[in-house]
Each structure stands twice: as structure tokens, then as C-alpha cells.
């Protein structure tokens, strides 16, 4: 069943942006509508908002989560991005399923005993190590490789 998915995570490097694009392409190939946090506010609008920029970002992202059926969060790095952590907590409080994707093998949890902070891990409905596994988690389909192949054909 297709979902409206709120996709979030850090987008500070080109590789993070590219990975987000691949995730979105695979979810769209599976029939989902993807709302990417990075695409919610057009370039220049934050700067133009001046002192209202914080309110603009906060309200826009919170309202976008409210309109979605689930959240997909990119959870790479040694620490989870601050904004992503807040979005996960908010979605959890709203009762939305949250699916993490962590292709990063570094240890990052409490005192190096886990792959991420326990409070983030506790919010997750599932955690995938690659895009195929993410599609399988969300859609419970064993043929996720076909969805990923279709996304690649579309030029992800």
C-alpha cells in the first residue's frame, strides 16, 4: 500500500544529498509520495524570512510531518543530526511509524555499545541497512529488489 512519506536526515554533503535522492526514487518506484524535508522551503526563502526564519523552518517541517503517514530518516554518522532527532521524536509522539536507514557501520550509541542513541533507536518501527531493506520494511514486500531495479532504471 502506498504511503505519504516524510523523508528527513542530514543534507550537508553531496553524498548525503545523492543518497536522499536514491531513497526517494526507490520509495516513489514503490508507489509512495515522498515529502523531503530539504525540499520544503525554496532556496532563498529562509534568508528572506530574516528574523522569522526559525519559525518558518519549524512550522513548515512540523506541518509536513502532520500530513504524512510515516517517516523515513537517514541516520548516518557518529551522531544523529539534531533536526532529524527532533523530527523523529515529534513523529513518535504523534504515533507515526518511523523507519531508519543506516548504511554507516560506525558505532554511535551509548558508550560505543550500539549503532545509535538509545532514545532514537527506541522510536524506530524498523531499521534498514540499505535501500532494498528499507522498501521491504515499509511495504513488507519480498520483491523489493524489483522496486530498487525500477528506481535505478528511472535514473536514481
Give 7-31 pLDDT, tens digit per residue. 999 998 999 999 999 999 999 999 9
Contact predicate 68/39, CB 8 Å: no
Residue 142 or residue 137, greater confidence: 137
Q: Dihedrals φ, ψ of 36, to 5°?
A: -90, 130
CATH topology of domain 4-153: Rossmann fold (3.40.50)
Indicate the SS3 state at residue 156.
coil
At 111 the pLDDT is 45
pLDDT > 50? residue 113: no
Q: What percent of the chain clears pLDDT 90, i.e. is strictly above it?
A: 67
What pLDDT score does 145 carry?
A: 62
What is the average pLDDT score of the chain? Answer: 87
Is pLDDT at 105 greater than 70 in this prediction? no
| pLDDT tops 50 at residue 112 | no
Which ranges of the chain does DSSP label H, i.e. alpha helix?
A: 14-29, 45-49, 53-66, 82-93, 118-121, 131-139, 144-153
Q: Say how many C-beta atoms besides its own lie within 10 A of residue 23's C-beta.
A: 24
What integer pLDDT is reported at residue 119 of this predicted model? Answer: 93
Residue whose grid cell is 529562509? 46
At residue 139 the predicted structure's pLDDT band, cuts being 50, 70 and 90, is confident
Range of lowest pLDDT (9-18, 59-68, 99-108): 99-108
Contact 123, 71 (CB under 8 A): no
- The predicted structure's pLDDT at residue 110: 45
* Distance of alpha carbon 15 from alpha carbon 5, whole angstroms: 21
Structural domain spans, the chain: 4-153
**pLDDT above 70: percentage of residues in the chain:** 83
C-beta separation of 125 from 94 below 8 A = no
Output the pTM of the full model. Answer: 0.86
Amino acid at each position: 500500500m502506498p504511503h505519504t512519506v516524510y523523508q528527513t536526515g542530514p543534507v550537508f554533503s553531496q553524498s548525503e544529498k545523492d543518497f536522499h535522492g536514491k531513497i526517494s526514487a526507490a520509495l516513489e518506484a514503490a508507489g509512495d509520495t515522498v515529502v523531503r524535508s530539504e525540499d520544503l522551503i525554496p532556496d532563498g526563502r529562509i534568508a528572506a524570512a530574516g528574523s522569522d526564519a526559525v519559525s518558518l523552518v519549524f512550522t513548515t517541517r512540523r506541518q509536513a510531518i502532520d500530513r504524512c503517514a510515516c517517516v523515513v530518516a537517514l541516520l548516518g554518522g557518529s551522531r544523529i543530526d539534531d533536526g532529524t532527532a527532533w523530527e523523529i521524536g515529534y513523529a513518535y509522539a504523534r504515533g507515526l511509524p518511523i523507519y531508519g536507514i543506516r548504511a554507516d557501520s560506525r558505532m554511535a550509541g551509548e558508550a560505543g555499545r550500539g549503532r545509535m542513541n538509545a532514545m532514537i533507536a527506541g522510536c524506530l518501527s524498523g531499521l534498514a541497512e540499505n535501500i532494498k531493506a528499507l522498501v521491504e520494511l515499509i511495504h513488507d514486500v519480498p520483491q523489493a529488489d524489483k522496486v530498487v531495479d525500477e528506481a535505478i532504471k528511472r535514473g536514481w
